[in-house]
A and B are shown apart, each in its own frame.
Chain A
């Protein structure tokens, strides 16, 4: 602020009103104050002006003082600080909750999108069959205490197993010295010389344990579908035996826990071969459906019958069927598998992780005790 109290041609200019206000309000610098005070010492008019402005200032202050609210106790600083801290924490909590919700939504959205991209559309007739099957309520609880938790999406794991099996087979062909040196054809293999009394998991079978969690466990709605027809590769009597389709309950009555099946997959059909020579446990074929819509059959029965069935089906259909050799079993490059136990054979017609296979074999072995 420039103080306009200067001598101009011997005439003194008086102090403007706003500068006197600023002077009284102590809003001027020290040098400005000195300049004003030196002028006031010599100018009576400005002194009067200063006094009237000071009175005006005091009256204004007094008038405004009447507009004060009634005096109250000032809330403590600690109280207000605490309230402010609480509010800050609450706001931060809201932001954290919002961020968490947003991240969850994002994760769910990404997961849903990835799942949509991964899952291919199944064949229409198969999808219709699956709807029919899953509409039937569950009838049989599991008694397998060794089972592991259910994972509903089995198909990707099985596809992985198939890929891994193919890779292993390719690797074996290219470099037979690496990997499993006990070739199933080898007559010196101990398993061939003295077949195990119980089913054993072949070494060639894909070891998916490191890749995926076990995919099958307690039966989730194990059902028999009367309306669910098998796809075109269904067979009957081709093994030289007369097959009959039985209900799930009937199969359980006849075979108990030894019904060969994969836990957790819906059962489409159970077929029993006619008993030969009074065999109490004839060949049984259980057809189930994978998540992808593919049908997987589990075949268990006398070695002769099973071998006959497998060989006939391999020539009859284009679908993969396992090959049984003279050893304890073999896992086909397409994921099929057959294992021998004494005079009986267990075979499956689609890739299956070893966890599920082990669970099934444990159950079958336990039921034989």
Chain B
């Protein structure tokens, strides 16, 4: 089995997840993941695994910018500038059916961009040196950042979850 094929088989799912947590649209995440691997097959870099996630992060960033532009355009069309959605429409459709998902998503949204990036890269399976290379952090700072990100994510989720529980109790 070709090295790239092996990487594709073992990493494709992680890349889709990584992208999904950035664009919050399963279809779009799939499309972007395929784009990432097609570029990989074209360029065949020396360190394909780190390269894949670097390209995925860049594509997700571009996608987020495009989403912001679309949102601004929609805001202009509806002439309702004060009500920009807190997250993109596709994400709203997802969390509609899963409160926990929405809570986790919101909790993740409370992290800084750097903390989010490090946490998601770690969750995608990248090593500390790979995370350091992609984010520009020192290897020693990766553990610190990861510790802070994990703690803040759980704290934000617990806060969100307890708020929801109180809301449900008050409602009932």
Contact = CB atoms under 8 A, between A and B. Distances in A.
B41 A80 contact: yes
B48 to A, nearest CB: 13
Contact of B20 (A61, A68, A80): A68
A21 to B, nearest CB: 4
Interface in B90-112: 98, 100-101, 104-105, 107-108
A72 B33 CA distance: 13
A59 B103 CA distance: 14
Contacts of B150: 21, 56-57, 60
A74 B143 contact: no
Q: Is the interface of B mostly helix, strand, loop or mixed?
A: helix
A63 B29 contact: no
A14 to B, nearest CB: 15
Nearest to B153: A60
B43 to A, nearest CB: 9
B17 A69 contact: yes
B16 A61 contact: no
Given A25-B146, A63-B157, A74-B13, A80 B21 contact: no
Interface residues of A, number: 32
A94 interface: no
Contacts of A69: 16-17, 20, 26, 29-30
B26 A77 contact: no
B122 interface: yes
Given A64-B21, A68-B17, A84-B37, 7 more contacts: A21-B146, A64-B104, A64-B119, A67-B21, A80-B37, A80-B41, A84-B39
Interface of B: 5, 8-9, 12-13, 16-17, 20-21, 26, 29-30, 34, 37-39, 41-42, 98, 100-101, 104-105, 107-108, 119-120, 122-123, 127-128, 139-140, 142-144, 146-147, 150-151, 153-154, 157
